[in-house]
Amino acid sequence: MDRIGAFFIFCNTLHCFADSIYKEISGKAVMTTEDQEIIAMFFARNELAVAETAQKYGALCMRTAMNILGSREDAEECVNDAYLRLWHAIPPAEPSHFQAFVLTLTRRAALDRADQRSRKKRFGDRCSAALEELAAILPAPDDVQQQVEDSAVSEAVRRFLDALPEEHRTMLLRRYWYLQSSREIAREMGITESRVRVTLMRLRQKLRAYLEKEDLL
């Protein structure tokens, strides 16, 4: 398994914790009346549902895609792809956190595109920076136990995250799920940038030690 593939596994493992901090990240109610109305439009197969979603969350989707891809053109195509995925997902899906659901589809679309671009070694700056930070705790390129270790690493990361204090888990999610910079994390969490950098460094060290203990590195 190459480190790019392992990076995507690590990031996608964070998804199971994303909803748990949705309210803290967004600073908004979990589900608004407007969100419920948009979901109802999807169920009615009213094509205006996509337009309403774009009007409300388009800028946030673009920022999410840009953080990963670093290209406005690619991000725009990615967001359009996410809207198509949304149209096909609802129904049957009936998300309880509409914004989180939309951003998850956007992020998956962006990661799919980044995965395609990885074959040409082309990443957005933020994605490249995150990959570099995690290089020391990702499986080596010559690992031949891909299928087994993909699942094992994912489960180990899940256990590690589940045992963390909420602040530390939120910090990891902001950095490697939302790809926020240390400065953005510090500003939105009301702490110093130095504290963010030091905490993230220690968390990466702890995760590496944990994976080594589990014989996954």
More confident: 214 or 17: 214
Structural domains of the chain in order of their starting residue, each with its CATH number:
14-122 (1.10.1740.10), 131-213 (1.10.10.10)
Q: Checking phi first, is residue 179 left (phi over 0); if not, alpha (psi -120 to 50) or beta?
A: left
Which pLDDT value is given to residue 17?
A: 58
Q: What is the pTM of this model?
A: 0.61
Q: pLDDT tens, 147-157?
A: 445 567 778 88
Of the candidate ranges 7-16, 58-67, 69-78, 103-112, the one whose mean pLDDT is the lowest:
7-16
When pLDDT is cut at 50, 70 and 90, the band that residue 144 belongs to is very low
Which pLDDT value is given to residue 104?
A: 85
Are the beta carbons of 82 and 34 closer than 8 angstroms? no
* Mean pLDDT of the chain, nearest integer: 79
Scanning the structure block, which residue is given the tokens 């926020």?
180
When pLDDT is cut at 50, 70 and 90, the band that residue 4 belongs to is low
Distance between CA atoms of 33 and 37, rounded to whole angstroms?
6
